[in-house]
Amino acid sequence: MTDSTKSGFYQETAGPDQTFLDANELVLNMGPQHPSTHGVLRVILRLDGEKVLGTECVIGYLHRGVEKIAENRTYTMFNPYVDRMDYVAAVSNGLGYCLAVEKLLNIEAPPRAAYIRVVLTELNRMASHQLWLGTHALDIGAMTPLFYTFRDREEILKIYEKYCGARLTTHAFRIGGTLYETYDGFEQDVNNFVKFVTPKIGEYEELLTTNRIWVERTKGVGVLSGKDCIDFGVTGPVLRAGGVKWDLRKAQPYSMYDKFDFEIPTGENGDTFDRYIVRIAEMRQSLRIIDQAVNSIPAGPIMAKVPKVMKPAVGEVYVSIEAPKGELGYFVVSDGSTQPYRVRVRPPSFVNLQALDKMVRGALVADVVAVIGTLDIVLGEVDR
Amino acid sequence: MADETTSKDQPKPPESKPAAEKPAAPPAAKAAAAPSAKPAGPTPQPWESEMVAKFKARFGSGIREASTYVGQNYMVVDGSIVYEALQLLREDEGFDYCVDITAVHYPKREEQFDLVWILYSFPRNERIRVKTLLKDGASVPSVVAIWSTANWLEREVFDMFGIGFDGHPDLKRILLPDGWKGHPLRKDYPILQQDTEWVKINLGIESGQ
Amino acid sequence: MLDYVTSYLHSSLTPGQAGNWLWALVYILVIFAGVSGIVIVMNWGERKALAHMQVRLGPMRVGPHGLMQPIADAIKLLTKEDIMPSEADKPIFWLAPVWVVMIAFSVFIVVPFGPTHAVTDMNIGILFMLGVSSLGVLGIVMAGWASNSHFPLMGALRSSAQMVSYEIAMGLAVVSAIVMTGLGGIGPYGIGSGAGSGTLSMIGIVQAQAQQHVWFIFKFFPVGLVAFFIFAVAMIAETNRAPFDLPEAESELVAGFHTEYSGLRWSLFMLGEYAGMVAVSSIAITLWLGGWLRPFPSTHGPAINIPFLWEHPEQGVVDFAFSFAPALVMLALAFFSFFNAMRMPKHPLLKIQTIGLYAFGLVLAGVGLILLAPPVRDRIQDIFWFVFKIACFMYLYIWYRATWPRYRFDQLMKVGWKVLLPLGLGVLLVTGIIGLGPEIAAWLKGVV
């Protein structure tokens, strides 16, 4: 543990990772503008030839001060801002925030709203994983899966567009439920999507799962065991690939997730290949949830009784959900006024990125991009 | 580790366990909340559990408060024993996952900062918060040695609030550039300050707004 | 002077061998233009084929189905600002792309597009090709060094290591093919060895395949096939194409050795890379796929004689049928163009595009008709089959790129040293043992 926590590599000099033949080290600045750092992440690599001796992540290039903005907006006004954090899973962000404020207000969304939320959130998980798969494959050099996944993700975005008019930063949920009723044919669209995309997942697998180069590039790369994951606070598919069967949707169900039947896929080795398999399996589980949820949306109101001016009682809550990237938490403090006194976002990408150094030490440059890809970070969320 | 968690965390905790955080709030709370526009709101209830009793016995008045608010447990501990308490939580009580470290600034209080550790236990499927109150300029021991995840989280708290962490391996700004002035999430940091200063220096105008 | 020009016309030698400098220059220019033309077509073809493999359309705006895209690209690249990093080693930075292009095109001096269609025929042709083409890496190393930047440097280092590793396996595979030229005779295991010519000359190698009535890929089956496989893998690595495109791995090294290059210089690198692909494909075709020979080169069928249309008494009906292939390919492409022009949506905005596609189809049909004329038809045969085989290789390059992820550096080295090298040695040994089988048997008999 002691070694891995020393991320500032400037202090480190000699040691077990001295360079081969005492050659000079090469310090390579990967990013902030680099094709595969998934945004404006800068990773300073200390290299011995191709071997990575140490890394340091420099983040914050996309810092917009979301938490400070929250303190200067009302609860309702801040709602759209959260979509801009993890912009590929905007719906999940919105769900987490709404649940947190609902908890603070001590209200609960009506069942119909909860079901709609589940459908949209799981669709979003699909979309996020598809985008991850495409870009991750591109990082490893396989171009084609990117276009396949984007083709299928498009169908999800179309459903969002029909539902709330926006494709990416949807602002689909409101505190207390949802603003929009499902449109005519929503169930049909979602069912069609499930039917359409189920064989497509097999198609992605055909391209990659048994591809020798893909397996060689991912097996044993960036290993992070379940124990290390917990130590580093890494959650989501990365944790599950390490063999820890933990999913907030099961462990502490929210938004009626306990009503649905699904499994938590896990891996064994905690390497890049396992994370790939886990995410593929999660897509299938998401489809299962969508299938169950969309065909049993109960009738009823979609909005709880929410005061026009929200003034939650003084207090603080922490509510977290299982976002596609891991545990996404909101720690909201109210001082009894209309504006949150403090909103703290616990971003899964930020915490997961911390494990990068441990995962790539001793690996090769090509593994660094594979590992950055497999962590599934979104810089909008890392930097907030 | 893996076996332990896989076997224990899956079944939902029994209802009797007060620790279980349940987003679906109990019906009583729901009924109370629904109509009144200005709710008196739920108030923190004392948090009674074996663990709290143990901690109170050990630290005495070091545990200033142990309460439950809307089903979520938290403990306010004294700054002098916070490291020991956290270590105990990690090693004896199984809180192996440090979810988050954050702070809240109350400029009017004498102890200006709430420093919050959000902890989760995989074996117990339980989430608690540990809080300590800090004066401006005071520092706390770093918990990087207990949870590796604390590294960046503490750096962020330092970056945003200027709270020092003793023994942190690499305490420097993380989200903001190294030359940044001030700590933005303090309440006395106006939202326009940086912008105004920048345009003054770089553009020679009074305000960019 | 006129004699000097015309004297070559009835020669059965390459201009280099005939010592005719003027015709050599003409050949050089024609080959330069031809290879550049292949690169341009490849540019369009790669984008379209790759796009269709990836469920997208590819270039569609510049001309019908993006046919003018390479021209637009060329104009763009030529008019772009020429950027040279201030800290670059300027003479070397300038020289690197020039060097790469020069080397890539020099190789074509000995590539035989037909029995006499080469600038010259050297008795060490294949050695010359391998030697010169491996100089290309020098340009890449120069580019990486001169850029004075870390990504290009790493790309250059990767490239040099990769070239060195794969050249050995490649060389072994080539040697096994050269050994085959000396092992003539017919029969499943080449009994009756020593009948072949045993040559390093590119033309000689193809002629050996013609004499032995077998493409070397099928000789001593499966020995020739394995050797070809080794070469086919090594040549992708040599040309830095997917899945061995580590020196310019986009997602790792941004653009590898040409990260700092832009505009014309960058396009020279691209030209060099694609010309290099054509060059190594030519080697593979010459050594294993019968060079300019058509499929089944020794099957002639019954002789026929049709006045004005077919007056080759020594050749037969099969030759006659195959002689239509170039024209048929062109006409098929023309038909494809017409078909797609008819399928174009009827929209006023697409009018020019539709007309353009019809025009393109007409041009192709015209070329096809010209190719039907007996004098042209007979002279184009060799070149057509050679270019056709190159096109197949180019398509494979595109296909690989769409299908495979990229190897990691250590895996690349592992494939080169631990798989291809032993395999190449084994193939060489087996070729020798099979080829010299009777001699060895006789010698053993003598000893015993």
B70 CB neighbours in chain A (<8 A) are 103-104, 106, 315, 317
Q: Which residues of C90-109 are buried (b: 16+ CB within 10 A; e: fewer)?
A: eebbebbbebbbbbbbbbbb
Residue C192 has pLDDT above 50, yes or no: no
Residue A112: C-alpha distances to residues A161, A176, A182, B27, C158 (Å)? 20, 12, 10, 17, 58
Q: Which of C145, C406, C413, C414 is the best substitution to test chain A (most A C-beta atoms within 10 A)?
A: C406
Binning pLDDT at 50, 70 and 90, where does residue A11 land?
very low
The confidence score (pLDDT) of residue A129 equals: 92
The residue-averaged pLDDT of C51-76 equals 87
* pLDDT over 70 percentage in chain C: 96
- For residue A352, give the chain B residue with the closest CA: B149
Contact C242 A141 (CB under 8 A): yes
- Over residues C77-128, the pLDDT tens digits come to 888 888 888 888 888 898 999 999 999 888 888 888 888 788 888 888 888 8
The residue-averaged pLDDT of B134-154 equals 87
The confidence score (pLDDT) of residue B12 equals: 42
Cα-flanking dihedrals φ and ψ of residue C232, to 5°?
-65, -35
Which stretch of A83-97, B102-116, C130-144, C286-300 has the lowest confidence by average pLDDT?
C286-300
C109, C121 Cβ separation under 8 angstroms: no
The confidence score (pLDDT) of residue A281 equals: 92
Cα-flanking dihedrals φ and ψ of residue A328, to 5°?
-110, 115
The shortest C-alpha distance from B10 to chain A (Å) reads: 6
The confidence score (pLDDT) of residue A132 equals: 92
- Over residues C17-48, the pLDDT tens digits come to 777 778 888 888 988 898 888 888 888 999 99
Residues 6+ apart with CB under 8 A from C418: none
The confidence score (pLDDT) of residue A330 equals: 92
- Over residues A332-369, the pLDDT tens digits come to 998 888 889 989 999 999 999 988 888 888 888 888 88
* pLDDT over 90 percentage in chain C: 8
**How many Cβ pairs within 8 Å bridge chains A and C?**
89
* CA atoms of A130 and A107, how far apart (whole Å): 34
B87, B140 Cβ separation under 8 angstroms: no
* CA atoms of A287 and A118, how far apart (whole Å): 11
The confidence score (pLDDT) of residue A194 equals: 92
Q: Which two tokens stand for residue C136?
A: 């290309």
Instruction: Quote the mean pLDDT of chain B.
Output: 77
Contact C251 A144 (CB under 8 A): no
Contact B23 A342 (CB under 8 A): no
Residue B194 has pLDDT above 60, yes or no: yes
Domain ranges for chain C, please list them.
15-293+372-447
Give the single-character DSSP code of B109. S
Domain ranges for chain A, please list them.
3-58, 66-383
- Over residues C252-285, the pLDDT tens digits come to 778 788 888 888 888 888 888 899 899 899 989 9
Which stretch of A285-289, B205-209, C354-358, C403-407 has the lowest confidence by average pLDDT?
B205-209
CATH number of the domain located at residue range(s) A66-383 in this protein = 1.10.645.10
The confidence score (pLDDT) of residue A282 equals: 92
The confidence score (pLDDT) of residue C197 equals: 61
Contact A144 C54 (CB under 8 A): yes
The confidence score (pLDDT) of residue B90 equals: 86
The confidence score (pLDDT) of residue A30 equals: 84
Instruction: Quote the mean pLDDT of chain A.
Output: 86
Higher per-residue confidence, A253 vs C309:
A253
Q: Which two tokens stand for residue C96?
A: 């690197």
The confidence score (pLDDT) of residue A278 equals: 92
The residue-averaged pLDDT of A94-115 equals 89
Instruction: Please report, as a single letter, which amino acid is at residue A32.
Output: P
Total Cβ atoms within 10 A of residue B198: 11
The confidence score (pLDDT) of residue A13 equals: 41
The confidence score (pLDDT) of residue C194 equals: 46
Task: State the helix-helix crossing angle for C136-146 and C90-106, rounded to 10 degrees.
Answer: 160
B1 CB neighbours in chain A (<8 A) are 226-227, 230, 244
Residue C240 has pLDDT above 70, yes or no: yes
Q: Which two tokens stand for residue C77?
A: 């690249």
DSSP-derived secondary structure for B170-206 = T---SSS-TT--S-TTSTTS-TTHHHHHHHHHHT--S
* CA atoms of C412 and C416, how far apart (whole Å): 6
Instruction: Quote the mean pLDDT of chain C.
Output: 83
Contact C408 A29 (CB under 8 A): no
The residue-averaged pLDDT of C193-200 equals 61
Q: Do chains A and C touch by CB distance (3+ pairs < 8 Å)?
A: yes
DSSP-derived secondary structure for A256-323 = TGGGS-------SS-SHHHHHHHHHHHHHHHHHHHHHHHTTPPPS-SB----SS--PPSEEEEEEEEE
C153 CB neighbours in chain A (<8 A) are 26
The confidence score (pLDDT) of residue C163 equals: 85
Q: Do chains B and C touch by CB distance (3+ pairs < 8 Å)?
A: no
- Kind and range of the H or E run holding C33: helix C21-53
B169 CB neighbours in chain A (<8 A) are 5-8
Q: Do chains A and B touch by CB distance (3+ pairs < 8 Å)?
A: yes
Instruction: Please report, as a single letter, which amino acid is at residue C308.
Output: F
Residue A10 has pLDDT above 70, yes or no: no
The shortest C-alpha distance from C83 to chain A (Å) reads: 19
- Over residues A223-255, the pLDDT tens digits come to 888 888 888 889 989 999 988 888 888 888 888
